[in-house]
Amino acid sequence: MSMYTAIATSAGRDGRAVSSDGRLDVKLARQKELGGDGEGTNPEQLFAAGYAACFASAMQLVGARKQIDVSDASVTAEIGLSPNGKGGFQLEATLRVELPDSIAPDTARDLVEATHQVCPYSNATRGNIPVNLVIE
């Protein structure tokens, strides 16, 4: 049984996406790179925002477990969209994790790898899309 279920409805890339509680209500528009006007957000931006927030939250949990202060950390997610060679499309992700300089490189790598095992987005994408972890 789920601890929480988010519900949102959309009719496609050109229109709106609305959550069942009305807290999310965004205009969607096809990206200029895909022939649209780019006058709204798109699924890849929404995915990037969700993945970045989820990974950062998971890192706070892992940091607390490992007694590592990550209060000044941030995560930037880049979500790429490309043809899959089969008539469809595929995603790829790069997560850029900015950590305080006080965290040693080996500790930083262990922290990010452990977070990648805890984060629900990472668990959902593992084996489905390439995810590149970059520590900055």
What is the model's pLDDT at position 5? 97
Q: Comparing C-alpha atoms, which of 17, 78, 8, 18 is closest to residue 47?
A: 78
What is the model's pLDDT at position 46? 97
What is the model's pLDDT at position 129? 96
- State whether 127 and 69 are in the same domain: yes
Number of domains in the chain: 2
- State whether 2 and 67 are in the same domain: no
What is the model's pLDDT at position 4? 96
- State whether 64 and 129 are in the same domain: yes
- State whether 74 and 128 are in the same domain: yes
User: Which stretches of the chain score pLDDT less than 50?
Assistant: none
Domain CATH code at residue 130: 3.30.300.20
Q: Each residue of 55-74: pLDDT tens digit?
A: 999 999 999 999 999 999 99
Neighbours of 126 (CB within 10 A): 12
pTM across the whole model:
0.94
What is the model's pLDDT at position 118? 98
Q: Comparing C-alpha atoms, which of 112, 6, 118 is closest to residue 58?
A: 118
- State whether 29 and 59 are in the same domain: no
Residue-number span of the structural domain to which 116 is assigned: 43-135
